Amino acid sequence: MLFSFIILVLGFAALVWSADRFVYGAAALAKNFGVPTLIVGLTIVAMGSSAPEMMVSASAALADKTDTAVGNAVGSNITNILLVLGLTALLRPLTVSSGILKREMPVLILVSVAAWYVLSDSYFSALEGYALLVGFAIFIGGLIFISMRQKDIDDPLVAEACEDVPQDVSNTKAIAWLVVGMIMLPISSHFLVDSAVDIAKYFGLSDLVIGLSIIAVGTSLPELAACIAGVLKKEDDLAMGNIIGSNIFNILAVLSLAGIINPSGIDPSAANRDSLIMLLATFALVAMSLSIRGTRRINRFEGGLLVLSFCAYQYVVFSQVA
């Protein structure tokens, strides 16, 4: 069991590192081939923090562990809002000002409701998976169209995304990092999922629970790092955008993989408990961000409530297992 925990930790570290290298190489190569910085920033760079979830869900689905893949997507969204955003707000209250965030919040509600509906019958079909994936393509296309048309480059969130696009990177270096990422991502995700399954079996945990807990928290570490970095630099929109964008990607791009790769029945708890918790957390995020008082501010008290809610949720998940 100690060996499985070591492999799990090393798997998480390798997964995060390889995702970063993959995104770096892909973004640099796209920039070198003339793709506008705005498009690269809003697609490749923006999806970077969700790359670990995508690979883990794909690996889990390929291993016939659809519950783990679903738990990873749903659990990551719950973790992003309740734990990551809560800890970030405790560190420094967050103020929302980005126009893009205000447009994305209704989208986040819509896709969260769609995720609940997809899981509500405890069966995830390939058709539902493809529908979510089509929604992802529409979302990305719409985001790029609106940003270019309205010149949202002055928007702090867009400006930050564009700043993260690598500059003056040779094609050789970009391709090298792209290949390294492409090789390491599936390998690290494979070992991570296998070690997580071993741990789950040892403690008598279900595939869903291991996805909702250990894997979800582990794959949310990039979001936590990005959010903390954002608030330390007083870039609140970067922190908020990270959470909202990641949650949309997790539903449309990550969750969809489970249904496409391995359509099958899923644990009823995913519909009766976890997807509903995800919806409630999403509504709480929107309510705190778009306050009727007009302040659009998430304070430390609200951050503390989010963290306590995360702890309570994990207690419920594990107590029901016991």
Contacts of range 13-16, beta carbons closer than 8 Å, 24 or more positions apart: 14/184, 14/187, 14/188, 14/191, 15/52, 15/55, 15/56, 15/185, 15/188, 15/189, 15/192, 15/219, 16/52, 16/221, 16/222
Query: Containing domain of residue 47, as a range?
Result: 2-321
Residue by residue, pLDDT tens for the chain (322 residues) are 788 888 888 888 888 888 888 888 888 888 888 777 667 766 676 677 678 888 888 988 998 989 999 999 999 999 999 999 999 999 888 877 666 567 778 889 999 999 999 999 999 999 999 999 999 999 888 877 776 776 555 555 566 666 667 788 888 888 898 898 888 888 888 888 888 878 887 888 888 898 898 888 888 877 787 788 777 777 777 777 778 888 999 999 999 999 999 999 999 999 889 999 999 999 998 888 765 555 577 888 999 999 999 999 999 998 876 5
Give the helix ranges, DSSP H, for 150-206.
156-163, 171-203
DSSP 35: -
Spell out the residues 6+ positions from residue 143 whose beta carbon is closer than 8 angstroms to its own.
42, 100, 104
Tokens found for residue 170: 């040779």
The CATH number that applies at residue 67 is 1.20.1420.30
In the chain, how many domains are there? 1
pTM for the model? 0.85
